[in-house]
Amino acid sequence: MPASRQIASDLGVSRNTVTGALSQLIAEGFLVARPGSGTFVAAGFERHQPEAVNWQQQPQLPGLSHYGTALAAKAMPEVHVQLPFTLGIPDLRAFPLSVWNRVQRQQQDRLHLLGYDGYQGYAPLREALADYLRVSRQVQCHADQIVITQGAQQAISLCAQVLLDPGDPVLVENPGYVGARRALQAHAAALTPVDVDHRGLQPAQLPAASAAKIMYITPTHHYPLGGIMSAPDRLELLDWAARTGTWLIEDDYDSEFHFHGHPIAALQGMAAQTPVLYLGSFSKTLFPALRLGYLVLPEPLVGSFLHAKRHMDGESPLLQQATVAQFVQEGHFQRHLRRMRVRYREKWEHLSALIASELDGLATPVAESAGMHLVLRIPGVNDDALVRDLTDAGFGGTALSSYYVGQDRPTGLALGFANTDERQRIAGVCRLRELILSHRKS
C-alpha cells in the first residue's frame, strides 16, 4: 500500500482518517502490516471475491420447505389499514390509556422484568387469568395449566405444531376463521369443513364416526356469523368429542361482549376434564398490539407445548405480561370490559337500526348476537369487488364469501363496528347502500 500520508493527500482527507481505515482493514484481515516494510494486501484475498447471487431469480434462492410452500400457497391478505368497519379492532379511543400507562410505569422500574422469566408465562398473570377465567368464563383451570402466548394466533399454531402430523384429519367450521384454517393447513392437516349456520354448529352436522384428531370451533360466539350454540348442543358436542376421541380447540376470542344477559359459559368448563384445549386473546378485550393470548391445557400436555413455544419464539414479552397482571389484579380489566359492553351494545344497536332503515331489501343481518362485528347477507353481488370499492371509499369490512370453503359461498359483508363513531356509521351505511345498488346492476 502507498504510505498513509500519500493516500491522505491523493484523497484529500486527513491522515487520521486514513490510518483509522488502514487499522480497520488490518483488523478485518484485508491488509497485513509488516514492521519496517509497510502495509500489504493480505495473501489470497483476490481469490475470494464472492460471486453475486441474483436475489430476483428463484433457483438461486434457497428452496422453501413444505411448511414454507404451504404458507405461501394460501397466503392471508395483510390488513394494512385500520379503517372504520375493519374487523377485530376494538374501540381504541375508549381504552383507559392513562391508567394503563401508570400501571406500566410502575412495572417498568422492576429490574426483574428486564431478564428471562419462563416460557409458560409470568406467574402472577397466569394466577390472575385463572381467577378471571374461572369466575367470568367458567373455565375449570388453575395457573399451572395456562400457557401465555403471543396472541391467540400463536396458540392455534402451537396446537397445530404439537398435535398434528401431515395428513391428520381435522374438522373446521364452515364458514370459519381463516387464520385458524391457514395455521392448520400449514402443517398439512387434511381439513374437513362442517357447515355452520346462524345458530352456531349443529351437532347433527357432525360426522357420526369421525377419525378427526382435532376440531377447531368457536362455540360461544361463532366466527364470523355470530351464532351461539345452545347449552344442550354444547353438551352434545362434548359427548360426541369424547366418544369419537376428537379434541376440541375452543377459540373464545370475544365472548365477553354479549348483549343479551350474561356471557355464555365456555365449553371447556361444562363438565369435568372435557376434551377441550381452550384459548383466548387480549386483542379484543384490551388491544391487538399487546400480542398476548393464552392456552388452557390438560396438565400432562403443558410440557410439550412449552418445548414448542421455546423454539418458536421463547417467552412472551415480560413487561407487557406484568402490566396486564396488575391491570387485572387492580380491577381495571373488569371495569373496562363492563364499559365496553355498554359502548359496543350502543354501537351495535345504532348500526343495526341504520341497516334496517337504509339497507332494507338489500342486505339482511345474519344473527342476533353481536360481539364486535356483524354479518350481512347481500345476495347477487361480487362481495370481493364490493369490499374493494368500500375500501376505496375509506371504509373497512370483509367479504362474507372469504370465510367459506367449497362451491356454495354466500355473499355479503362482515362489518366491525367497535372502531366506528356515529358519523362514520351513518356515512358508511349510506355509501354501502350506493355501492350495493351499483354492484347489483353491473
Ligand X SMILES: Cc1ncc(COP(=O)(O)O)c(C=O)c1O
Report, in Å, the least distance between residue 288 CB and ligand X: 5
394 belongs to the binding site for ligand X (CB under 6 A): no
In the complex, minimum distance from the CB of residue 63 to ligand X, in angstroms, rounded to a whole number: 29
Q: Which three cell numbers stand for residue 359?
A: 339497507
Q: Of these, 193, 288, 298, 410, which contacts ligand X (CB under 6 A)? A: 288
Judged by CB under 6 A, the stretch of 130-138, 147-155, 201-209, 333-341 that binds ligand X is 147-155
Largest Cα separation within the chain, whole Å, is 95
Q: Which is nearer to ligand X, 274 or 398 (CB)?
A: 398
> Does the footprint of ligand X cover residue 175 (CB under 6 A)?
no
Residue 207 within binding range of ligand X, rule CB under 6 A? no
**How many angstroms separate the CA atoms of 198 and 205, rounded?**
14
Instruction: Measure the CA–CA gap between 399 and 51, rounded to whole angstroms.
Output: 47
Number of residues that bind ligand X (CB under 6 A): 14
Which residue is closest to ligand X by CB?
151
Helix (H, G, I), strand (E, B) or coil at 127: helix
Give the distance, in angstroms, between the CA of residue 256 and the centroid of all CA atoms in the same chain.
17
Do residues 55 and 44 lie in contact, with contact meaning Cβ atoms separated by under 8 Å?
no
Among 122, 132, 223, 395, binds ligand X (CB under 6 A): 223
Report if residue 91 touches ligand X, rule: CB under 6 A.
Answer: no
Hunting for cell 361463532 — which residue is that? 222
Is position 369 an interface residue for ligand X (rule: CB under 6 A)?
no
100 sits near ligand X (criterion: CB under 6 A): no
Interface residue with ligand X among 86, 120, 140, 153 (CB under 6 A) is 153
Q: How far is the CB of 293 from ligand X (least distance, A)?
A: 4
Could you give the CA distance from residue 146 to residue 328 in angstroms, rounded to a whole number?
A: 16
CA distance 235 to 218: 14
Please identify, using beta-carbon distances, which residue of 4 and 398 lies nearer to ligand X. Answer: 398
Task: State the minimum distance, in angstroms, from the CB of residue 216 to ligand X.
Answer: 9
Q: Is 177 in the site for ligand X (CB under 6 A)?
A: yes
Q: Does 183 bind ligand X (CB under 6 A)?
A: no
- Using the rule CB under 6 A, is 294 a contact of ligand X? no
Minimum CB–partner distance for residue 72 and ligand X (Å): 20
Closest to ligand X by CB, 132 or 223: 223
- For residues 134 and 138, give the distance between their C-alpha atoms in angstroms, rounded to a whole number: 5
The answer to whether the CB of 85 falls within 8 A of the CB of 372 is no
Q: Considering the complex, what minimum distance in angstroms separates the CB of residue 300 from ligand X?
A: 25
Query: What is the torsional sign of CA 416, 420, 422, 425?
Result: negative
Stretch that binds ligand X, among 25-33, 41-49, 281-289, 311-319 (CB under 6 A): 281-289
The reply on whether position 157 binds ligand X by CB under 6 A is no
Per-residue DSSP letters for 164-194?
--TT-EEEEEES--HHHHHHHHHTT-EEEEE
Q: For residue 34, give every residue at least 6 positions away whose Cβ sits within 8 Å of its Cβ, in sequence order, or none.
A: 40
Q: Please provide the size of the chain in residues.
A: 442
Q: How far is CA 268 from CA 11, 218, 223, 296, 298, in A?
A: 74, 12, 18, 9, 11
C-alpha cell at 297: 391445557
For 95, residues 6+ apart whose C-beta sits below 8 A from its C-beta are: 286, 287, 336
Q: Describe the crossing of helices 151-163 and 178-186 by its angle, rounded to 10 degrees.
A: 30
Among the listed residues 90, 121, 200, 293, the single contact to ligand X using CB under 6 A? 293
Whether 21 and 15 have beta carbons less than 8 Å apart is answered as no
**Residue number, 139 or 359, with CB nearest to ligand X:** 139
Q: Which residues, 6 or more positions from 326, have their beta carbon under 8 angstroms from its beta carbon?
A: 103, 106, 107, 124
- The interface region with ligand X, picked from 145-153, 164-172, 383-391, 403-411 by CB under 6 A, is 145-153
CB of 292 to ligand X, least distance (A): 8
By CB under 6 A, tell whether 179 contacts ligand X.
yes
- The SS3 call for residue 376 is strand
151-159, 164-172, 330-338, 382-390 -> range binding ligand X (CB under 6 A): 151-159
The smaller minimum CB distance to ligand X, of residues 412 and 416, is found at 416
Pick 288 or 298: Cβ nearer ligand X: 288
Residue 351 CB, nearest approach to ligand X (Å): 19
Residue type, 265: A
Positions in the binding site for ligand X (CB under 6 A): 88, 151-153, 177, 179, 218, 223, 251, 253, 281, 283, 288, 293
